[in-house]
C-alpha cells in the first residue's frame, strides 16, 4: 500500500470531520485517523525494529482505542448525540478546509525538505490536519467535540514528527503521546466542571460568567 494513498486518506478524513454534526461520528473518524497514522509509521520502515512496532502499537492503543472509548463513554453519560449549530456553518467549514488544504500544498513547495520527503504528501497532510483540528477546536460549541478537535490537532503534530522519526529518539515520540493524554485528561476535567455548572457542554455559556 502506498504511503501517499494513506496520506490522501488522512486528508479526506479531515473533510469528513469538519462536515459531520454527530459527535459519535467525529470520534470514530478521529480514531480511524489515528490508526492510519500507525500504518504510515510502519510503512516508512522496511524492517520493523522493536521501537517502531512499539511506537505504532502505542499510537493505535492511545489514539484509536483508549481515548475514543473514554470519549464514547462520556458521550453516553452526558447523552450527547448531535453538535449544536457551530460558530461557523458546516458548508463554510468545508470551504475553509479546502482553502487550508490548498495553502498547505503551496507552503510545502516552499519548505526546504529532505530528498526522501519530496514528492510525498507528508507536509500537506500534516499541515491540513493541524488546520482541521484547530478549526474544529475553535468553531464547535460542544466541549466534547472540541476534545476531538484537540485530538485531530495532535494527529497533525504527530504526522509531521514522522518526517524525523528515523533521527528522533523514542523518548520524544513518547513525550508527544504523553502530552496528548495529559491534554485530554485536563480537557475532561474542564468538561466535567462545565457540565456540573451549567448542565450543558455548550461552551458559549462560559460567556455568561461574571467576576
Cβ partners under 8 Å of residue 56, min gap 6: 38, 39, 41, 42
Query: Rounded mean pLDDT of 1-18?
Result: 90
Count CB neighbours of 5 within 10 A.
11
- 88-101 per-position pLDDT tens digit: 888 899 999 999 99
Share of the chain above pLDDT 90, in %: 22
**Does a structural domain hold residue 44?**
yes
Higher pLDDT, 161 or 105: 105
- Distance set, CA 174 to CA 53, 82, 197 (Å): 13, 33, 35
Mean pLDDT to the nearest integer, 108-113:
73
- Write the DSSP assignment of 12-24 as a string of letters: HHHHHHHH--BHH
Residue 67 banded pLDDT, cuts 50, 70, 90: confident
CA distances (Å), origin 37, targets 87, 88, 177: 29, 28, 13
d(CA 111, CA 99) in angstroms, rounded, equals 19
Does the pLDDT value for residue 80 go beyond 90? Answer: no
Predicted local distance difference test score (pLDDT) of residue 132: 94
Is 149 within 8 Å of 88 (Cβ atoms)? Answer: no
**Which grid coordinates are listed for 177?**
503521546
Transcribe 123-187 into DSSP letters: HHHHHHHHHHHHHHHHH--BHHHHHHHHHHHHHHHHHHHGGGTTTS-HHHHHHHHHHHHHHHHHH
Q: Is residue 211 part of a domain?
A: no
Residue 74: the pLDDT is 77
Supply the range of the domain harboring residue 95. 3-206
Structural domain total, the chain: 1
pLDDT band, residue 211 (cuts 50/70/90) = very low
Backbone phi and psi for residue 2, each to the nearest 5 degrees, phi listed first: -75, 140
**Does 144 reside within a domain?**
yes
The model's confidence at residue 186, banded by pLDDT at 50, 70 and 90, is: low
With respect to residue 168, please indicate whether it lies within any of the assigned structural domains.
Answer: yes
Tell me whether residue 9 is in a domain. Answer: yes
Lowest pLDDT segment from 14-23, 131-140, 185-194: 185-194
Q: How far is CA 22 from CA 36, 62, 81, in A?
A: 21, 22, 6
Closest among 32, 77, 84, 37 to 57, alpha carbons compared: 37
Amino acid at each position: 500500500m502506498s504511503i501517499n494513498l494513506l496520506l490522501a486518506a488522512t486528508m479526506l478524513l479531515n473533510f469528513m470531520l469538519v462536515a459531520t454534526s454527530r459527535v459519535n461520528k467525529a470520534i470514530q473518524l478521529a480514531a480511524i485517523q489515528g490508526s492510519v497514522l500507525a500504518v504510515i509509521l510502519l510503512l516508512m520502515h522496511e524492517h520493523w525494529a522493536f521501537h517502531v512496532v512499539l511506537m505504532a502499537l502505542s499510537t493505535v492503543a492511545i489514539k484509536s482505542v483508549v481515548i475514543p472509548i473514554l470519549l464514547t463513554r462520556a458521550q453516553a453519560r452526558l447523552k450527547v448525540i448531535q453538535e449544536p449549530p457551530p460558530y461557523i456553518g458546516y458548508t463554510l467549514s468545508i470551504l475553509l478546509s479546502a482553502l487550508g488544504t490548498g495553502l498547505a500544498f503551496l507552503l510545502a513547495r516552499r519548505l526546504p525538505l529532505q530528498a526522501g520527503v519530496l514528492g510525498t504528501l507528508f507536509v500537506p497532510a500534516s499541515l491540513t490536519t493541524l488546520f482541521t483540528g484547530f478549526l474544529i477546536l475553535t468553531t464547535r460549541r460542544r466541549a466534547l467535540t472540541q476534545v476531538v478537535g484537540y485530538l485531530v490537532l495532535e494527529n497533525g503534530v504527530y504526522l509531521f514528527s514522522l518526517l524525523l522519526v528515523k533521527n528522533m529518539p523514542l523518548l520524544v515520540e513518547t513525550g508527544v503521546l504523553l502530552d496528548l493524554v495529559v491534554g485530554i485528561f485536563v480537557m475532561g476535567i474542564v468538561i466535567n466542571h462545565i457540565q456540573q455548572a451549567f448542565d450543558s457542554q455548550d461552551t458559549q455559556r462560559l460567556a455568561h460568567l461574571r467576576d
